[in-house]
Amino acid sequence: MPDSGAANEVGTHQSPGWLRRTVLERRWARGVEERAPAHAVSERLSDAAVGLPSASAGLASAAVGLPSAAAVAGLPSVPAITGRQPAAAGQPAPAGTDEEPVHAVSRRRWFSVVARRRWVVVSVAAGTGILVAATVLLGTGGQPSAATFVGCTGEPITVTIATSARTFPVLDRLAKDWTATRPVLHGRCLAARVTSQESSRVAATLGPDWNTRRDGVRPDVWVPESSLWLSMAEGRPDASGLIPPQSPSIASSPVVLALRQPMAQALGWPGRTLNWTDVVEMFMSGGWAKTGHPEWASLRMGMTDASTTTAGLAAVLAVVGDDVTGALTDDQLVDSLRFDQALGAVAPDTSGFFAAQAGTAGADAGIAAFPALESEVAAFDQDHPEHPLVPVYAAAPVVADYPYSVLSTSWVTAGTRAAAEQFLTYLRSSAGQDALGVIGLRDVDHSVRDSATLPVADGFPTTFSGARAVPDALVIGQLIADWTSLQRRSDMLVALDTSGSMAEPVPGTSLTRLQLMRQAATTGFGLLGGRDSVGLWGFSGTGDGPDELVAFGSATAAVDGVDRRQAMLDALGQLSAHGGTPLYDTVYAAYQEMRSHWQPDSVNAILVITDGSNDVPGGMTLAQLLSALKSEQRSGRPVQIINIALGPEADADALRQISAATGGRTFVAENPATAVQTLVLAFAGRLS
């Protein structure tokens, strides 16, 4: 029995923002009719010829409540019209039903039988000789009933399909069209309905205990934007057995970088094929002045949330590269930080970014490029030809493949599964694929279905190859966790050992330990953003305490007329190594300082870099320090201590105890030359 609230949910759905004026709404009748096979067009009911209401109001080949045509005619029964398409050559018909597919000739023959019995209106179109037969079906309120179908009885077996807001309108229309073809299974009517549920939400909630009040209508079939979300759902223990091993795709759309056309032209487009990596590098390096447009230096990229959107997750995968098997490497983290620096905004979806390109008041006009689905870019270009965007493709793009996943749940019955298989056949038929093509989706093999929607002249290639493989759930989960941690604000005080041993050379280099620190800090401090705060101390045993080299404050704020990041680099360049190592006293003083600057929703941390052990008498002991740290951690405003032990003389054991007392970590670099990227991440406030 269908959920009584489903019809209301489907009937009142509104697409967000400018997507309400989709290409589908503008071109459905014209585009699909133009591409319909001749025999299908001849079978359509002519409103003008018979003078009846439109087909969408419920035209069909039998009147409500009437017996089958065969029974009235006194003729042998003919197979019911199931709405299924003939199987492709060499492919079996969908399982779950004992009816054979009915070809167009069978349908015409059935119509002619009905016409001869004179219980429908018959009209001959002037000059064409085309016979058109029609009867009027009374409206049923949007939900199929037994009276709507010829040759079936009882309440329909209704399959519920959950899909994202972007594909809801077209799948909803196709579901209604398929239902109107009177599909049948063992004498029972079949129907399909579609609900709008975002892919990330279903991936997070799908399970055997689906709560309709909390989670909405239970889906029998899930069509997320990408198999990435199937993988995410499979990673949850309560959902892992609900996803079938194979979920066939119904369409495709690669994730592209949407770039303003003037910027694309400045890079040589259309004569030159642009590459995602090269364009992103232009924003990360601020290289637009080389194209003759220094005024573009302030423009930034936008990005959607990687944990909830296909485009956002695809962007992170593009940044870190193909070699992702778990936690990100130091190199991948540095690349991610550089990408993050080029971002001007991270948004829940792309609607605001598209609005900015159209010049909408209040939108972020500083965003000039952002990851989006190719179909979104195509729809925007058709709506806003005066502000076109150019799609830029990755070498191996993440592809939204729209998998059709029939769920293995207790509520999906054999009849529902058979209905789902029949509807899938319809979606993959010419009619279904044409409708999907009209909204800018490609065929399953990545070829363009509708060249008017994806024109080559506007930068949409006829096909592409080398789609990115879908990582498993653990890899995706770790990737999202790492990326999310990079987005957090960092409040960090750097305490750098400036004792005499820091003047010793680093094996395999011509640098001293102190010089290597400055080299790593040049990159690391440069990765700090406006939301971060930082300060720099130096410590040795020559004074009354640590030296405040640069006071704590916003990383991008001015200090004596220069950016704080540059001020810290200048201070490092003037340091000389001498004296002992008052490690414990310095750590405790730094802890007190950071508690006074503590911020919620931030990584509050102290970075201690040392190559020795506590060797100044008269100060705190290790036991006293650990006791004080543990006590203050429990009293609120906790601060992590991150230690980097340089060289073999560093007291790694004491440093590990200190970091463990505060929930931090200690990194041991016996040869600092091999740990440069770790040092870079440390100075960027991204070691934890």
Dist CA 110 CA 479 (whole Å): 57
Whether 520 is covered by a domain: the verdict is yes
Whether 348 is covered by a domain: the verdict is yes
435 and 386 share a domain? no
At residue 418 the predicted structure's pLDDT band, cuts being 50, 70 and 90, is: very high
Whether 655 is covered by a domain: the verdict is yes
Whole-number percent of the chain with pLDDT over 90? 52
425 and 368 share a domain? no
Give residue 361's pLDDT. Answer: 61
229 and 90 share a domain? yes
Whether 459 is covered by a domain: the verdict is no
Residue 267 has pLDDT above 70, yes or no: yes
Question: Which of 246, 224, 250 is CA-nearest to residue 408?
Answer: 246
Whether the bond between 270 and the residue before it is cis, its omega within 30 degrees of 0, is yes
Three-class SS of residue 86?
A: coil
Question: Which of 493, 444, 440 is CA-nearest to residue 467?
Answer: 444
Question: Which of 220, 223, 230 is CA-nearest to residue 420?
Answer: 220
Quote the tokens at residue 653: 């054991």
Q: Which of 417, 440, 463 is the last residue of a domain?
A: 440
The CB-side HSE value for 650 (13 A sphere, CA atoms) comes to: 23
- Lowest pLDDT segment from 124-128, 483-487, 505-509, 632-636: 124-128
Give the tens place of pLDDT for each residue, 365-386: 789 999 999 999 999 999 999 9
103 vs 334: which has the higher pLDDT = 334
Angstrom distances, CA of residue 684 to CA of 329, 466, 489, 555, 603: 15, 34, 11, 10, 12
Task: Confirm if 661 and 630 have CB atoms less than 8 A apart.
Answer: yes
Mean pLDDT of the chain: 79
**Domain total in the chain:** 3
Domain that holds residue 494: 488-683
Q: Which of 360, 376, 396 is the last residue of a domain?
A: 396
Angstrom distances, CA of residue 679 to CA of 38, 110, 157, 603: 68, 78, 62, 17
84 and 196 share a domain? yes
The vertex-357 CA angle with 354 and 362, nearest 5°, equals 85
Dist CA 109 CA 79 (whole Å): 11
DSSP string, 317-376: HHHH-S--SSSPPHHHHHHHHHHHHTEEEEESSSHHHHHHHTT-TTS-TTEEEEEEEHHH
673 vs 548: which has the higher pLDDT = 548
9 vs 202: which has the higher pLDDT = 202
CATH number of domain containing 518: 3.40.50.410
Give the tens place of pLDDT for each residue, 422-479: 999 999 999 999 999 999 999 999 999 999 999 999 999 999 988 898 888 888 888 8
Whether 479 is covered by a domain: the verdict is no
Whether 449 is covered by a domain: the verdict is no
389 and 513 share a domain? no
244 and 268 share a domain? no
425 and 494 share a domain? no
Give residue 563's pLDDT. Answer: 92
